[in-house]
Chains A and B, each alone.
Chain A
Amino acid sequence: MVSQPQTHPDTRSSRVRPYTLTGGRTRTRHQLLVETMISVPDYDAEFAETLMPESLSVYELARTPISLAELSASLVIPLGVIRVLVGDLAADGAVFIHPTGHSYQYDHTILERILDGLNQISA
């Protein structure tokens, strides 16, 4: 259809999968839904000292398995912030994200709105 002026087809295809091959990949990654459970596999007191206050609270509470919804509600931290903090802790290997099942009974968006509404009232 068109010529390929400034690309390098051979090196490119090995590094980058075209869209048709990548479908479905992110589903296996952490989705961090409101009901997703996290926990701390190996509590590390030295690591805890390096954390900012909010991340520290998440880290402490997750010593027993806890959902994002509960974290957000009990720490009075908006869900988006909880997601970011948990994502960072998970990237460091400090928390484990429990796989979430696939048959949901409820609408996540509605749950999130309720949760954010609750946080706003209590804030």
Chain B
Amino acid sequence: MRKILIIGAGQAGLQLGLSLLEHDYDVTVMSARTSEEIRGGRVMSTQAMFHTALQHERDHELNLWEEQAPGIDGLGVSLAGPDGSRALDWVGRLDNRAQSVDQRIKMAGWLELFEDRGGKVVFHGVTTSDLDALTRHYELVLVAAGKGELVQLFHRNPDRSPYTSPQRALSVSYVHGGGRRPEHPDMDAVRFNAVPGVGELFVIPGLTLSGPCEIPFFEGIPGGPLDCWSDRPGPAEHWNRMRELMRQYFPWEYERFKSADLTDSQATLAGGYTPVVRHPVGTLPSGGTVLGMADVVVANDPITGQGSNNASKCAASYLDSILERGDQPFDPQWMADTFERYWSLADPVTRWTNAMLQPPPEHVMNLFGAAQENEAIRNRFVNGFDNPADFDNWFLDPVGAEEYLTQVN
């Protein structure tokens, strides 16, 4: 049995660990927190996941909450006009359902499942000196520790990282008691609301500890009115402030949420980080090498809701590379190749996400405007969240956009 160590019990580390157990690898996961601590801790994400990623979970019977979680059947777009009303308001349909299961539920459950299925779990906040000694004991060490301090082992790749500072101030609340969405009361959908110069408000239907909920999520442009969380308000004040900002900038959403309440006392989150792509192989003082995965190596802004999807795709891609390696050594060249294979999936996501952080160019405004009248455009945009490589052909390229518009009109 080949011995593999995974640092970090998140989407990437646990999905890979659980899927390796099916193939009789000896897998140890090191987690900074126990399942109780994860379940009782703060929310971590809005974790909307689309079909391809959800299918990876189904493939390994990890879709334990599929029946309880609201099925997301579409994605709506609202764009504020100059007078505070909506210049655009449409919804597109997803070919396949999306879902958001609170990572507190999922990661705690998967961690326990991993132990049940014979994986070893060691609770420890891993340091580089731990890793330095541990690489000797394993044939492969993967660092799936998200955006924590261990990322320092992996150098930033400037060729793939256009930004050097956070592009949005993030703020999240999980709430109960939002009414049905008036635009389409019979359908659950993610809503993407944008106000030029201010930022975005996403609303994601999800499943949390206390049942189905809604997750309003601000992406505030730095220095703008939604960038106001540095005083770290307590939960009640956090949600009040979000509501007040909704009333001012997203009044159509405020109506839905004015009497909604937080799901629990740990249901708020604020922060921000710089989007970055790193070199995948970390070298320790002893000469041992470790391979980074998911957010450790590709951390995009959550504006396109792709990080968990990427983490799932990364785990699936690394699994294939590990299985195909058979008994051969997991040397640095194999590590670099393994990452490049994943990067072929993450690269289009990264380019699209980085583009979405900029004010929309004219061809994008034309597409969004035409989508108001044309269902085919709406659906193509929405299904791109599951297959971001498609955006290259029409959405990210002004010439392609024009050709597409002539074709569909």
Contact = CB atoms under 8 A, between A and B. Distances in A.
Interface residues of A, number: 40
Interface in A5-27: 5-7, 9, 12, 15-16, 18-19, 22-27
Contacts of A15: 61
A123 to B, nearest CB: 7
B97 interface: yes
B30 interface: yes
Given A32-B123, A83-B122, A123-B129, 19 more contacts: A1-B70, A2-B70, A6-B58, A7-B63, A19-B65, A22-B35, A22-B112, A24-B36, A25-B112, A32-B124, A54-B137, A80-B125, A80-B127, A83-B123, A83-B124, A84-B124, A85-B137, A87-B28, A88-B28
Interface residues of B, number: 42
A7 B66 contact: yes
B97 A23 contact: no
Interface of B: 5, 28, 30, 34-36, 39, 58, 61, 63-71, 97, 105, 108-109, 111-113, 115, 120-127, 129-130, 132-134, 136-137, 212
B138 to A, nearest CB: 9
* Residues of B contacting A: mostly: mixed
Contacts of A81: 130, 133-134, 137
Contacts of A24: 36
Contacts of B36: 23-24, 26-27
A12 to B, nearest CB: 7
B35 A26 contact: yes
A83 B5 CA distance: 13
Interface string A96-119: 000000000000000010001001
Interface of A: 1-7, 9, 12, 15-16, 18-19, 22-27, 29, 31-32, 52, 54, 77-81, 83-85, 87-88, 91, 112, 116, 119-120, 123
Contact of A119 (B58, B71, B129, B136): B129
B61 A78 contact: no
B134 A18 contact: no
22 contacts: A6-B58, A7-B66, A9-B67, A18-B64, A19-B64, A19-B109, A24-B36, A26-B115, A27-B36, A31-B123, A78-B127, A81-B133, A83-B124, A84-B28, A84-B30, A87-B28, A87-B122, A88-B28, A116-B127, A116-B129, A119-B129, A123-B129
A81 to B, nearest CB: 5
Contact of B134 (A1, A12, A84): A84
B124 A4 contact: no
B120 A88 contact: yes
A85 B120 CA distance: 11
Contact of B113 (A16, A27, A83, A91): A16
A18 B65 contact: yes
Contacts of B39: 19, 23
B284 to A, nearest CB: 12
